[in-house]
Amino acid sequence: MNITTTGIIGAGQMGGGIAHVCALAGYDVLLHDISTETLQSALATINGNMARQVKKGRISEEDRDQALKRITTADTLADFGRCDIVLEAVTEDEAVKRDLYAQLCPHLPPATLIASNTSSLSITRLAAATDRPGKFMGAHFMNPVPLMELVELIRGIATEDATYEIVEGFVKTLGKRPVKVEDFPAFIVNRVLMPMINEAIYALYEGVGTVEAIDTAMRLGAHHPMGPLELADFIGLDTCLSVMQTLYEGLADSKYRPCPLLVKYVEAGWLGRKTGRGFYDYRGETPVPSR
């Protein structure tokens, strides 16, 4: 199968980043989101990020201009009928994803592949909600997509060998390094990363240290580029909670219990950078700890 046109559903951080790398790799990109505002914001972000790549000498001005021309927006899911592969990057909510597939699949030719960017959900269950389980798999990109090299590739129980091979080859053309992962809750990266973040939140919850102390300790003591609480804000606290709940429910192990403080922040709508408040307050010129 020769992939020339990629469809991307969801124009948030992940969907916009995937559109960015696909367009730079020479693919025609169709980008859709239920929010017109989110879609326009994604296009502006892609433009700005590519401009920074030009400034740093990573791509040429011509590369940027050609890539931007390859990205078009789609008003409806019916427009995705011309896509060879559709990459789903909507919110990390299984019900939302299943509903999307029910609306999307009737518009796709039988040969079109679907790859979900889910960071934790069962690929086998998601595939069963489509009309093409054999042509469905997980392709979990890392955030920020233009900078991070890894893509976790996850097969469901019904995923065909040809599907995996095509998606693996496609990911390599984006300049990414694919890693094969089995279909277990949260896969590899989030199964290791999210419990660490959750434990840092417990340390804050129990008064072991302040936000600043915990992040400073992990930056200087473990040479992490970001402290775990700063990283949680960057990822989105709602996403962190969703992954921890998936681990807790999927593996039935108490060590994955989400910290009550994480739950409280999400209930308050303090989701991190995207809402202006999380473990840090981003509403001023410089982020300051929120507690």
* Residue extents of the structural domains in the chain: 5-181, 190-289
Let me know if 223 is a catalytic residue: no
Q: Name the 3-class secondary structure at 139.
A: strand
What does the pLDDT read at residue 112? 98
119 is catalytic: yes
pLDDT of residue 28: 98
- Our answer to whether residue 224 is catalytic in this structure is no
**What does the block give as tokens for 5?**
């046109």
| SS3 (DSSP) at 87 | strand
Candidates 116, 117, 119, 120; catalytic one: 119
Among the listed residues 92, 140, 230, 242, the single catalytic one is 140
Which listed residue (116, 120, 190, 242) is catalytic? 190
Cβ atoms 215, 228 nearer than 8 A: yes
**Which of 170, 190, 193, 168 shows the shortest CA–CA distance to 179?**
168
- Give the tens place of pLDDT for each residue, 137-149: 999 999 999 999 9
- Nearest Cα neighbor of 240 from 174, 185, 190, 173 is 190
Q: Please check whether residue 233 is in contact with residue 272, taking contact to mean a CB–CB distance below 8 angstroms.
A: yes
The yes/no answer on whether domain 190-289 falls in CATH 1.10.1040.10 is yes
Phi and psi of 117, rounded to 5°?
-90, 20
Residues 6+ apart with CB under 8 A from 199: none
- CA–CA gap between residue 127 and residue 237 (Å, rounded): 26
Mean pLDDT by 10 residues, the chain (291 residues): 95 96 98 96 97 96 97 96 97 95 98 96 97 98 96 98 98 98 96 98 98 98 97 95 94 96 98 96 95 83
pTM of the predicted protein model: 0.90
Phi, psi of 135 (to 5 degrees): -110, 25
Find the catalytic residue in 122, 152, 198, 230: 152
pLDDT of residue 168: 98
Q: 5-181, superfamily in CATH?
A: NAD(P)-binding Rossmann-like Domain (3.40.50.720)
Task: Confirm whether 120 is a catalytic residue.
Answer: no
The SS3 call for residue 135 is helix
Tokens found for residue 69: 């021309």
Please, what is the angle between helix 189-205 and helix 260-268, to 10°?
90
pLDDT at position 291: 83
Residues forming a β-bridge with 139: 153
Q: Which two tokens stand for residue 193?
A: 């990363």
Phi, psi (deg, nearest 5) at residue 281: -100, 120
Residue 1: per-residue pLDDT? 76
